[in-house]
Structure 1
Amino acid sequence: MATAQPNLLSFPSTDALAEQLRPYVLRCQAAALARHDTFRIAVSGGSLPTVLARALLAPGNGSPDDTPQFDKWHIFFADERAVPLDHKDSNYLLLKDELLSKIPAELGAPTVHPIDEKHVHDDDPQELADLYQEDLMRSFAAKDSVKLPFFDLILLGCGPDGHTCSLFPGHDLLREKDAWVAAESHSPKPPPKRITLTLPVVTSAINIAFVATGAGKKDIMKAIFDTEEGRSLPSALVNQGGGEKVCWFTDHAAVDGVSFPRRGNL
């Protein structure tokens, strides 16, 4: 388990946050392209796609270091709901509406890895999870030769209960060690059927970033960063497993009252 501390960044507004999220993501892109000429990223839903789009679609300075090379991106989903891709609860649809449909042609088109919607109406989402894991295996090499997929970047949100992906407090899935993708049939937050990356996959990523904004997050942020009881929350477990690889991008309202040291830049 990692011992170094995560990085807690705080900005005066969501716009200021997005301005700093852009160079962070593009630094991750540059390092990934230098390693293997592709940028493998996983994203969550919630407010994250909106902030990500604000960051990446903003005008750049024209330099290669400040330009998303979307044709080199492979975008996966940190979790997804067992619904059709055009359903209002679909994380894919959210990302498509906020970002994918707005990418200028000259920046290229990313390769996107949605769930197989032929199985979204199955009683048990396990087949959906197995198929998504097979997609990961095709992208990250066969599982018998790679114990875990190493994403170049995973972008996460944090729920008001401290959940992230579809990993909820006190759930058995937090103890899953072998699967890359797990099924959830009884999510405490609707819709009930989902799939999610498992905790070992999340914490094995080369870079991990949370985006958490708004005063509605300040109580859970204080629990995660300042209290012993909060250490078992899923988002706190990512902090513990990822250590200094984890960067939290927050606004001042979300961390009001949090004692953990925070910074204004990396």
Structure 2
Amino acid sequence: KGENIRYVSAPSEAVQLAAVRNDPMNIRYIENPTEKVQSVVLHADRDAAPFISSPTEEIKRLAMEMYGLRLENAAGKEAAAARTSETFGDSGKKAAEGVAKKPSAKQVKEAVEKLDSEIREINREYFQATYEAQYSDNAAERESEISAAGKNREKKLVKAYEKFNSAAVPERKECNVGKIVKELRKERVAVENMKAGEWHSLMKGKAVQPPLVSGASGAAGKGSALMLARTPAGYALKAAGTINQASRQANAEM
């Protein structure tokens, strides 16, 4: 198994690559990964990137460009804490208190299913409200009711996404969901038609092609690939196409 690399003293690059290709999170067991190994991890899993020990300047640059992620020497401390915890058991866990606990696969699956169900219910309520509003004899009143239904749907969607983040992606708890939803709307994304899996991928720093509103251009109703990036002003959307050729080449090597 790849995690057995933690028992290997000064593993070769080939051994390091085999371990991280088996599971990018195995990078936390490697004290001095080569730049190629660091690059493979960076492109494979955003969540594993903070565990890269002693990231090179090029890897730091790519992490910031791709994810808005700042890799500092603290990354080595997190990796060391993880190695200590895994190797020495409970006595070492105290050293890793600063490392965020990830929800289990089962918890994520349950959260995804719950969010999909909530989105369906929110849409049902919206369509019911707009359907009833159409029977109003007063045009101004009809428009007001339809507008209110839309605003209510938006609030409920934001709340549902916030609850999902708390359960499935706690590392994004500081993400302003309302702001991200507004940015998605500016990109003409039909937020109400996004699948929970798409939102989850977006929050995990992966590129997604969410559904567009009716009438928007895009192949098969899909828009440009978007990613979540961390900026000095907080999390924001960016076009996945801004990743440079070096990033794509590193992906090809994986």
Instruction: Identify the structure with the greater strand proportion.
Output: 1
TM-score, normalization by structure 1: 0.24
Structure with more contact order per residue of length (Cα contacts < 8 Å, sep ≥ 6) = 1
Larger radius of gyration: 2
Instruction: Identify the structure with the greater helix proportion.
Output: 2
